[in-house]
């Protein structure tokens, strides 16, 4: 089999192609029909099939004789804990927690929010929801109470599952007060909460609403997986859009299982028994797909790591985990290795460990900058494989298809479209742009299985954000080009989404927070280049006439407001007071030019600018 014939078949005969791939998972009712178009311009994969995602991930592996194989290894340098679960043990834990949720009244179609640190119970909670057909919505633990409240209002959960605390290097962050505050702020009130008490902090419980995880587990009866339709939602995962309101990406059960199982071979060349480590967080899509679901679908051992690439305790942390657990495939964001390289430029730490189990290193989440690629290549001598994807797609849109045919890599390129993705570089009208020229990267519909099927509670937004911008295409929001050999180069977002340390954030959302300060007349937030985090937000603010606040004090207040409303994860640390904002004559803020000035790049003075002198003034202020 070669990549070209596989790719062509996926585009020319998608139903035949995906029927074949659907044969790789265990269904309750296997698909008869493969695709059904819907009137939202998209459609459903496997419309008449049924399955259970936790059965595919767990019970199917036990039935296949992998019951005694490790399914999940938990490695937590921040607490000094390591433990593992075999497939049989993980199945039992999940079945029991599913029983606990069911006993509290959670059933098929109910939403459950999971706000947890990187502990096995987070994965158990996700799989338990899947087992009873409930829809989980994991909220990243680094988000503040307000962000959690926004998601509670949108998702309308029946329950919230949390832990008493998370641990950030040496800092203990109490989660329960954040959950209490979020529920207080939200207009929707969940029926109950489940709290996993960690030894570091004992959370205060609210009588009648909060249940201790261990108490529920002590009396729970394990339950069998319930059949759900392939088209039923498995989860909602909120991601930043261009407005202040995050979008709830909805993923179905059937397409997700088929696509992720296929991706494990195609993208990662993973086999049952391999040890797969995605060094990310369950709160992000990488964590959903490649810490929890895909490695289990493929019968691998997955690693759940509660630590950082550095400072837990040093820049050898990743290599230590690889050696200790015989990791075969490692996946993380480039920023993690930029942090390692900064602290250990000559990779001295690497020489302390035996990483011979490792076959390849995978990177995604942001552009893989050539210096990071070169450093990794030089010091590990391993294939360093860039792949491009998004929360919306759930698996790689572009990759080096090493499970089928290994292609020569080109630094800066995520290689070729994954089979199923008809990727095209187009202008705003949908016409092709020639090789080498930049345009919008779009995917001709239909999207393959595993991609978002709608935006939670707002199908109109799904259409307007992704499908209507260029009719017949899914618009990715990323710009880039295809070279003469067909390699795809993703150069960055064309909207107001920024990528801070591999975390996707909305500058629009930060602007809403900054603008709510009583002294601010107007503001804009752009993503400025940062050596380690890729991008960091930079605010430019205009103070109201008559406001007398000291500028340093104002900056401190704005930084605190963004921390309080969005979370420390936003890394909003700079707000510069300016006299005016550069605008077009029609009043549109010239964000691109501001970004170029902040990055010290050459910029062309736009012909539409109302007052060119302002650019030099801002440049001057940023230099100070």
Residue 419 backbone phi and psi in degrees, to 5? -50, 135
Q: How many CA atoms lie within 13 A of 229 on its CB side?
A: 10
173 binds, among ligand COA, ligand AMP, none (CB under 5 to 8 A by kind): ligand COA
Cβ proximity to ligand COA: between 118 and 258 the closer is 118
Q: Choose which of 78, 100, 178, 310 interacts with ligand COA (CB under 6 A).
A: 310
Closest CA to 117 of 89, 152, 61, 79: 79
How near is the Cβ of 167 to ligand AMP at its closest, in Å? Answer: 23
Q: Choose which of 91, 302, 335, 507 interacts with ligand COA (CB under 6 A).
A: 335
Cβ proximity to ligand COA: between 515 and 568 the closer is 568
The window from 14-22, 501-509, 550-558, 614-622 that contacts ligand COA (CB under 6 A) reads 501-509
Question: Beta strands 210-212 and 192-196: pairing type?
Answer: parallel
How near is the Cβ of 283 to ligand COA at its closest, in Å? Answer: 7
User: What is the C-alpha to C-alpha distance for residues 539 and 513, in angstroms, rounded to an integer?
Assistant: 11
Which DSSP string corresponds to 135-182? EEEE--TTS-HHHHHHHHHHH--SEEEEESEEEETTEEEESHHHHHHH
How near is the Cβ of 141 to ligand COA at its closest, in Å? Answer: 4
Which DSSP string corresponds to 406-422? PPPP-TT---EEPTT-E
How near is the Cβ of 330 to ligand COA at its closest, in Å? Answer: 11
Residue 275 contacts residue 298 (beta carbons within 8 Å): no
Q: What is the 3-state secondary structure (H, E, C) of 325-341?
A: HCCCEEEECHHHHHHHH
Task: Check binding of 414 to ligand AMP (CB under 6 A).
Answer: yes
Gap between the terminal Cα atoms of the chain: 59
Cβ proximity to ligand AMP: between 226 and 260 the closer is 260
Q: Which residues pair with 440 in a beta bridge?
A: 426, 479
Q: Choose which of 86, 289, 302, 332 interacts with ligand COA (CB under 6 A).
A: 332
Q: Choose which of 19, 44, 504, 565 interacts with ligand AMP (CB under 6 A).
A: 504
User: What is the C-alpha to C-alpha distance for residues 235 and 253, in angstroms, rounded to an integer?
Assistant: 8
Which DSSP string corresponds to 489-534? EEEEESSSEEEETTEEEEHHHHHHHHHTSTTEEEEEEEEEEETTTE
Residue 256 contacts residue 234 (beta carbons within 8 Å): yes
Provide the mask over 444-483, with x wherever binding to ligand AMP is found by CB under 6 A and - wherever it is not.
Answer: ---------------------------------xx-----
User: What is the C-alpha to C-alpha distance for residues 248 and 140, in angstroms, rounded to an integer?
Assistant: 13
Cβ proximity to ligand AMP: between 414 and 597 the closer is 414
For the four alpha carbons of 42, 45, 48 and 53, in that order, the dihedral sign comes to negative
Cβ proximity to ligand AMP: between 411 and 606 the closer is 411
Residue 564 contacts residue 181 (beta carbons within 8 Å): no
Give the DSSP H or E segment for 249. strand 247-252
Helix (H, G, I), strand (E, B), or coil: what is residue 477? strand
User: What is the C-alpha to C-alpha distance for residues 98 and 106, in angstroms, rounded to an integer?
Assistant: 9
The window from 33-41, 71-79, 82-90, 565-573 that contacts ligand COA (CB under 6 A) reads 565-573
Task: Check binding of 286 to ligand COA (CB under 6 A).
Answer: yes
Task: Check binding of 598 to ligand COA (CB under 6 A).
Answer: no
Whole-Å CA distances, 481 to 415, 466, 484, 559: 11, 19, 10, 36
Task: Check binding of 6 to ligand AMP (CB under 6 A).
Answer: no
Task: Check binding of 501 to ligand COA (CB under 6 A).
Answer: yes
Cβ proximity to ligand COA: between 378 and 560 the closer is 560
How near is the Cβ of 81 to ligand COA at its closest, in Å? Answer: 17
User: What is the C-alpha to C-alpha distance for residues 317 and 413, in angstroms, rounded to an integer?
Assistant: 28
Q: Choose which of 31, 77, 502, 534 interacts with ligand COA (CB under 6 A).
A: 502
How near is the Cβ of 361 to ligand AMP at its closest, in Å? Answer: 13
If binding means CB under 6 A, how many residues of this protein chain bind ligand COA?
24
If binding means CB under 6 A, how many residues of this protein chain bind ligand AMP?
20
333 binds, among ligand COA, ligand AMP, none (CB under 5 to 8 A by kind): ligand COA
285 binds, among ligand COA, ligand AMP, none (CB under 5 to 8 A by kind): ligand AMP
Provide the mask over 412-451, with x wherever binding to ligand COA is found by CB under 6 A and - wherever it is not.
Answer: ----------------------------------------
Provide the mask over 263-302, with x wherever binding to ligand AMP is found by CB under 6 A and - wherever it is not.
Answer: ----------------------x-----------------
Cβ proximity to ligand COA: between 216 and 490 the closer is 490
Q: Choose which of 133, 142, 401, 420 interacts with ligand COA (CB under 6 A).
A: 142
337 binds, among ligand COA, ligand AMP, none (CB under 5 to 8 A by kind): none
Cβ proximity to ligand AMP: between 14 and 448 the closer is 448
Per-residue burial over 234-263, b = 16 or more CB atoms within 10 Å of its CB, e = otherwise: bbbbbbbbbebbbbbbbbbbbbbbbbbbbb
Q: Choose which of 365, 394, 403, 449 interacts with ligand AMP (CB under 6 A).
A: 365
Residue 284 contacts residue 238 (beta carbons within 8 Å): no
Q: What is the DSSP letter of 58?
A: I
User: What is the C-alpha to C-alpha distance for residues 543 and 515, in angstroms, rounded to an integer?
Assistant: 10
For the four alpha carbons of 209, 214, 217 and 218, in that order, the dihedral sign comes to negative
Cβ proximity to ligand COA: between 45 and 572 the closer is 572
Task: Check binding of 387 to ligand AMP (CB under 6 A).
Answer: yes
Question: Beta strands 503-506 and 497-500: pairing type?
Answer: antiparallel
The window from 57-65, 93-101, 253-261, 498-506 that contacts ligand COA (CB under 6 A) reads 498-506
Task: Check binding of 129 to ligand COA (CB under 6 A).
Answer: no
Cβ proximity to ligand COA: between 347 and 549 the closer is 347
Cβ proximity to ligand COA: between 27 and 238 the closer is 238
Q: Choose which of 168, 306, 369, 496 interacts with ligand COA (CB under 6 A).
A: 168
Q: Which residues bind ligand COA (CB under 6 A)?
A: 141-142, 166, 168, 173, 279-280, 284, 286, 308-310, 332-333, 335-336, 339, 365, 501-503, 568-569, 571
Residues that bind ligand AMP (CB under 6 A): 239, 285, 364-368, 386-391, 414, 477-478, 490, 493, 499, 504
């Amino acid at each position: 089999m070669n990549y070209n014939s596989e790719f062509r078949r996926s585009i020319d005969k998608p139903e035949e192609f995906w029927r074949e791939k659907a044969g790789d998972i265990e269904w309750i009712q296997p698909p008869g029909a493969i695709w059904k178009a819907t009137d939202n311009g998209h459609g459903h994969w496997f419309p008449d099939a049924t399955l259970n995602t936790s059965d595919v991930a767990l019970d199917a592996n036990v039935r296949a004789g992998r019951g005694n194989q490790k399914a999940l290894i938990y490695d937590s340098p921040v607490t000094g804990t390591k433990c593992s679960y075999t497939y049989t043990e993980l199945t039992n834990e999940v079945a029991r927690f599913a029983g606990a949720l069911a006993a509290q009244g959670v059933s098929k179609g109910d939403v459950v929010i999971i706000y947890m640190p990187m502990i096995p119970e987070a994965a158990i909670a996700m799989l338990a929801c899947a087992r009873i057909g409930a829809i989980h919505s994991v909220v990243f633990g680094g988000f503040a109470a307000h962000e959690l409240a926004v998601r509670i209002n949108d998702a309308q959960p029946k329950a919230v599952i949390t832990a008493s605390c998370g641990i950030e290097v040496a800092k203990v962050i109490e989660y329960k007060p954040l959950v209490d505050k979020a529920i207080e702020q939200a207009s929707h009130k969940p029926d109950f909460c489940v709290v996993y008490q960690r030894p570091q902090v004992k959370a205060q419980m609210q009588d009648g609403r909060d249940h201790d995880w261990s108490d529920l587990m002590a009396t729970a009866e394990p339950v069998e997986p319930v059949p759900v339709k392939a088209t039923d939602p498995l989860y909602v995962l909120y991601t930043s859009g261009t407005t202040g309101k995050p979008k709830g990406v909805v993923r179905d059960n059937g397409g997700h299982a088929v696509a992720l199982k296929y991706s494990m071979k195609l993208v990662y060349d993973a086999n049952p028994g391999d040890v797969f480590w995605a060094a990310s967080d369950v709160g992000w899509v990488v964590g959903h797909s490649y810490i929890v679901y895909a490695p289990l679908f493929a019968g691998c051992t997955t690693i759940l790591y509660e630590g950082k690439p550095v400072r837990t305790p040093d820049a050898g942390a990743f290599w230590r985990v690889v050696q200790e657990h015989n990791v075969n495939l490692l996946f993380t964001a480039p920023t993690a290795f930029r942090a390692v390289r900064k602290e250990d430029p000559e990779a001295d730490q690497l020489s302390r460990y035996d990483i011979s189990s490792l076959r390849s290193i995978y990177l995604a989440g942001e552009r893989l900058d050539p210096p990071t690629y070169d450093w990794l290549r030089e010091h590990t001598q391993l294939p360093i494989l860039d792949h491009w994807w998004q929360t919306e797609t759930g698996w790689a849109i572009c990759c080096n298809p090493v499970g089928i045919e290994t292609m020569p890599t080109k630094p800066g390129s995520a290689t070729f479209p994954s089979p199923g993705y008809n990727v095209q570089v187009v202008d705003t009208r949908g016409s092709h742009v020639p090789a080498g020229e930049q345009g919008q990267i779009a995917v001709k519909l239909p999207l393959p299985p595993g991609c978002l099927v709608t935006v939670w509670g707002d199908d109109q937004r799904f259409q307007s954000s992704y499908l209507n911008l260029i009719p017949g295409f899914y618009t990715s929001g990323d710009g880039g080009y295809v070279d003469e050999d067909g390699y795809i180069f993703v150069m960055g977002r064309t909207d107001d989404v920024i990528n801070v340390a591999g975390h996707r954030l909305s500058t629009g959302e930060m602007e809403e927070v900054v603008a709510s300060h009583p002294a601010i007349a107007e503001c804009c937030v752009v993503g400025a280049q940062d050596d380690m985090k890729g991008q960091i937000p930079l605010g430019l603010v205009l103070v109201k006439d008559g406001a007398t606040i000291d500028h340093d004090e104002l900056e401190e207040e704005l930084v605190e407001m963004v921390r309080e409303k969005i979370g420390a994860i936003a890394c909003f640390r700079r707000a510069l007071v300016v006299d005016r904002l550069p605008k077009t004559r029609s009043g549109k803020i010239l964000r691109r030019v501001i970004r170029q000035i902040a990055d010290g790049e050459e910029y062309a003075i736009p012909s539409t600018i109302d007052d060119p002198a302002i650019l030099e003034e801002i440049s001057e202020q940023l230099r100070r």
